[in-house]
């Protein structure tokens, strides 16, 4: 997987983790096979809907502090392992998708961001 795996989530059919120092997201199949999706930027956390269905989200941005130009949340299609969208946020943090809303918690500034996202 790389070094420093961050949070781990379970979705329908896979386990996902952010690999902070590897600037990637890793999907682990039940068979144990791991697929790596390089994102080219620091990955802070991954999240998904509470029922484990739908896209996977990855918070990306600087390792320390906030950077409105580099902080965002990317939508990943779990089947194709392709980035299918991006939501810019002031600070990256932990993310989850509830209904039509994307919730991003920035633990550095104790701020909650909520955005309504359109399906791909």
pLDDT of residue 65: 65
Domains of the chain, first to last? 5-116 (2.130.10.10)
3-state secondary structure of 96: strand
Which residues fall within 8 angstroms of residue 41, CB to CB, at 6 or more apart? 23, 60, 61, 70
| pTM of the entire predicted model | 0.83
Strand partners, 45: 59
pLDDT of residue 68: 65
The stretches in the chain having pLDDT less than 70 are 1-4, 20-22, 63-65, 68-69, 107, 119-120
CB 59 within 8 A of CB 95: yes
């Amino acid at each position: 997987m790389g070094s420093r795996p961050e949070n781990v989530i379970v979705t329908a059919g896979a386990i996902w983790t952010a690999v902070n120092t590897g600037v990637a997201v890793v999907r682990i199949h039940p068979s144990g096979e791991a697929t790596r999706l390089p994102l080219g930027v620091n990955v802070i956390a991954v999240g998904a809907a509470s029922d484990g269905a739908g896209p996977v989200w990855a918070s990306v941005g600087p390792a320390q502090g906030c950077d409105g130009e580099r902080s965002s949340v990317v939508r990943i299609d779990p089947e194709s392992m392709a980035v299918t969208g991006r939501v810019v946020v002031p600070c990256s943090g932990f993310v989850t998708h509830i209904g039509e809303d994307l919730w991003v918690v920035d633990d550095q500034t104790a701020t909650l961001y909520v955005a309504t996202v359109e399906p791909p």
